[in-house]
Amino acid sequence: MASMPVLINGIPLTTLGKQGELQRIAATSDNDRVLVIIQLHGGNDGLNTVIPIEQYAQYYHLRPNIALPDHGKRKYITLDTTLSTQKQAGLHPDMTGIKDLYDQGKVSIIQGVAYENLNQSHFRSRDIWFMGGDYDEYIGSGWMGRYLDYLYPGYPQDYPTSDMPDPLGLEIGSAVSLAFHRANGIPTAVSIDNPQQFYDLINSVGGEPPASVANTYYGHELQWIMDIEKKSNQYAGRLKEIYEKGSNSQKVTYPELYPYNAPASSLRNGIGTQLKMIARLISGGAKTKIYLARIGGFDTHASQVESYDASMGTHAALLYHLSESLRAFQEDLKALGLEDRVLTVTMSEFGRRAASNGSWGTDHGTSAPLFVIGKHVNPGIIGVSPDLSNLERNNLRMQHDYRQVYGAIMQDWMKGEDQVLQQTRFYDYVQGENKIPVIRDIIMGDREEFLTERYGLKDCTPNPVKSLVQFGFKINATVWVEFSIYDVSGPLMKRVLNEQKQAGEHYFHLDLSSWKPGVYIYSISAGRFKERKKFVKI
């Protein structure tokens, strides 16, 4: 029996559930945290996503026809001037959204993620990432499926319930991946155009199922499908209800088109529509634990960049769609009051090779950086820039096993117990030195230290001031800076700066000997960073 994807506003979903055989006291999760996984389908070129600044000469030597420039209007974005030399990195110039989120302390970049003996087949490597196993293992279930199988035993017979009225997982797309498969089980789905059509279609289906099925493997699978079909009426109504009940912030615009030059097939943004729908479902009350979205086109063997400008083209458009959509998604969640509940992580089956090919592209490689986005990530870079002088057959060497990332998220974000980590096969990857600090203290969620290390308005000296005074500030991005002084009662006294400034610390002096004694306010506006302080003129 073929599965059919559910579509909401033209976007296909696969509703997923796992039948549990494990005995567990608690049938439901004790938290409302949500995990959103974005698959970069095709194998993302990590070196043109996160550029090793301190090795720029070697980077350019390896890929002169596609290397991003280090000067001009389309140069790479310097990520963070406070990082150590080995971590200094640049972002593709179209990733301003990720840079913005990073400066808010909401992005963790994990360098060199892969697995040992990485298989460079798209299908096999994706299955390995989804099954949570080694390169030489063939597991019939996915780690997401095993997690949900443990968390919600007795599916589908015992669900939906008042505590869990929704699909346990939602996969966006027409294909069903291994990710949500349970042991010896299959996911099921229904395909429609929107929630109303989903509801109408399901309620139009008639016929009585057979009274019993054979006690065989195939009989059990048939029974599983029959049980899912019995639940479809309830899931159809529920999805329609929560989608109509939910909303997106009117203040947030999800990007639709790439604004620069790229092939027509890359201009339209698909991932933004998916994330917008996920935000709306969550805002409508969905209790689904894991969402899997995807953006394709990363298999860039040829024409990865435009021949006349390496900063534009197919890959640039894809990174723009991803980056701007993630910024909009995070702003939407914040405006909806959902930011504390949602964590997003990217994944791709492999990276690309260090050296470019003769077709303005890159071939299948091994490790690549991953992005983890949310209010409670450990912001910064985990790992160091790939060593371009120590390649392995033109491939970047692995620094982190993908199961270290998933394991840390499962343990620290989803609050998985040891039994959950064993079930997902991540337990060994969060022990001792294997554990990587992906998530911060999610109770406090304090990013103030990260922000003040990178942006700040200095105390003016001297204060009180008689004549000459020194002002200073530090910024972590090249941005337009407005620096002004106001009378304490409100009127603008002097616009000191109104120009673009490079990342770093900046100081300047003013002669205020002719100013009247009194209290004044000096303020800075630099992108999202804004701060005000007082000084006294005597």
Residues in contact with 38: Cβ distance below 8 Å, sequence separation at least 6, in sequence order:
271, 293, 294, 295, 322, 326, 344, 345, 346, 347
Q: Please, are residues 143 and 134 in contact by the beta-carbon 8 Å criterion?
A: no
Yes or no: say if 492 and 535 are a contact pair by the CB < 8 Å rule.
Answer: no
Q: Is the pLDDT of residue 228 over 70?
A: no
Question: What is the reported pLDDT for 350?
Answer: 98
Q: Is the predicted pLDDT of residue 16 greater than 70, yes or no? A: no
Considering Cα of 292, then 181, then 369, then 448, what sign does the dihedral take?
Answer: positive
pLDDT given at position 167: 85
Q: Domain 455-537 is in which class?
A: mainly beta
pLDDT for residue 443: 47
Mean pLDDT of 100-108: 95
**Separation CA 434–CA 452 (nearest Å):** 30
pLDDT digits 0-9 by tens, 147-174 = 988 888 877 678 888 898 888 888 887 6
What is the residue-averaged pLDDT of the chain?
Answer: 87
Query: What is the residue extent of each domain of the chain?
Result: 6-449, 455-537
Instruction: Write the pLDDT tens digit of every residue in 303-313.
Output: 999 999 999 99
Q: How far apart are CA 149 and CA 27, in angstroms?
A: 10
**Would you state the structure tokens that stand for residue 129, as one six-digit string?**
């990432």
What percent of the chain is modeled with pLDDT above 90? 72
Mean pLDDT of 200-218: 56
Residues 6+ apart with CB under 8 A from 416: 147, 410, 424
Which of 464, 518, 465 minimizes the C-alpha distance to 491? Answer: 518
**Token reading at 390:** 């120590």
State the Cα–Cα distance between residues 510 and 461, nearest whole angstrom.
11
Starting at the edge strand found earlier in the chain, the sheet holding 50-52 runs 50-52, 89-91, 77-78
**In this predicted structure, what is the pLDDT of residue 395?**
97
* Rounded Cα gap, residues 169 and 191, in angstroms: 16
pLDDT: is 214 or 381 the higher one?
381
- Examine residue 462 and say whether the peptide bond preceding it is cis (omega within 30 degrees of 0): yes
Q: What is the pLDDT of residue 173?
A: 72
User: What's the whole-number mean pLDDT along residues 29-40?
Assistant: 88
What does the alpha-carbon distance between residue 98 and residue 76 come to, in Å, rounded to a whole number? 13
pLDDT, position 176: 63
Task: Give pTM, 2 decimals.
Answer: 0.89
pLDDT-derived band at 396 (thresholds 50, 70, 90) equals very high
Which of 201-210, 278-287, 424-433 has the lowest average pLDDT? Answer: 201-210
Check residue 314 and give its pLDDT: 97
pLDDT above 70 coverage of the chain, percent: 83
Per-residue pLDDT tens digits for 235-252: 777 878 899 999 999 999
Burial class, 410, CB count within 10 angstroms (exposed 0-12 / middle 13-18 / buried 19+) = buried
**pLDDT band, very low/low/confident/very high, at 269 (cuts 50, 70, 90):** very high
Question: What confidence tens digit (pLDDT) does each residue in 42-74 have?
Answer: 999 999 999 999 999 999 999 999 999 999 999
Residue 184 vs residue 335, higher pLDDT: 335
Task: Determine the pLDDT at residue 28.
Answer: 42
Chain centroid to CA 17: how far? 24
H/E element, 56: helix 56-62
User: Within its chain, how far is the Cα of 253 from the centroid?
Assistant: 18
Give the torsion through C-alpha atoms of 231, 234, 235, 236, to 10 deg.
Answer: 120
Can you give the pLDDT at residue 184? 57
Taking the C-alpha atoms of residue 201 and residue 191, their distance in angstroms, rounded to an integer, is 9
- In the chain, the amino acid numbered 205 is V
What's the mean pLDDT in 92-115? 97
Contact 275, 329 (CB under 8 A): yes
Q: How sure is the predictor about 200, in pLDDT bands with cuts at 50, 70 and 90?
A: low
pLDDT confidence band for 366 (50 / 70 / 90): very high
For residue 334, pLDDT over 50 is answered with yes
In the chain, the N- to C-terminal Cα span, in Å, equals: 85
Averaged over 218-243, what is the pLDDT?
68
Report residue 25's pLDDT band, with 50, 70 and 90 as the boundaries: very low
Backbone phi, then psi, for 256, in 5-degree steps? -115, -35
What are the angstrom distances between the C-alpha of 269 and each of 254, 315, 390?
A: 9, 13, 36
Contact 324, 57 (CB under 8 A): no
